[in-house]
Copies of this chain bind each other. A is one copy, B any other.
Amino acid sequence: MKKDVLIRTALPTDVDSVLTLIKELADFERAPDAVNIQAQDLLEDGFGSHPAFTCFVAESDGKLVGMALGYPRYSTWDGKSMHLEDLIVSQSYRGLGIGFSLYKTFIHYAASQGVRRIEWAVLDWNQSAIDFYRKTGAEVLPDWRLVQMDNQAITDFITQYPHASI
């Protein structure tokens, strides 16, 4: 890795740059209009008294060029787990080992939290990512599919079934 890249914990002042990286990843993932959050959300959700995520950033020449963002999960098979939501390196900084440094940082962080599983998701056409994850000992599960109920669907469901059973 180039010597002038620093991996560090994200600061509140990083949220604009973090959002820029999130949008760059959304473009790469062919979902350019998917980012509905604002920098203010990241600030409130990640840097308050009960942060919803932990974020590591890669800094080069005072600019953020990559990030790894994750949070705890729970597995009813393995117990405490950690989710890697985003691993991002800006296009022009790829191939320098920055992604691997962020990945390594995140895995060490997860291990320090005592988790027995780290999990994340990958697009099935992103072969270079799949190859990378496999090489590091991770397993890509062929038979599980992600399911999502978005905000509109939640609202529609609640309207249709206004009474919870509890």
A residues near B (Cβ < 8 Å) are: 7-9, 22, 25-26, 31, 34-37, 41, 45, 52-53, 56, 69, 71-80, 83, 85-86, 101-102, 104-105, 107-111, 115-125, 130, 133, 136-151, 153-158, 161, 164-166
Docked-complex contact B124 and A158, CB < 8 angstroms? no
Question: Which DSSP category, helix, strand, loop or mixed, fits chain A's interface?
Answer: mixed
Given contacts A105-B165, A158-B108, contact A53 B41 (CB under 8 A): no
Contact A121 B137 (CB under 8 A): no
Extra A-B contacts (6), CB below 8 Å, given A119-B146, A123-B143:
A78-B151, A109-B166, A111-B158, A116-B150, A117-B151, A138-B153
Q: Is the CB of A146 within 8 A of B166?
A: no
Given A36-B78, A56-B166, check contact A146 B147 (CB 8 Å): no
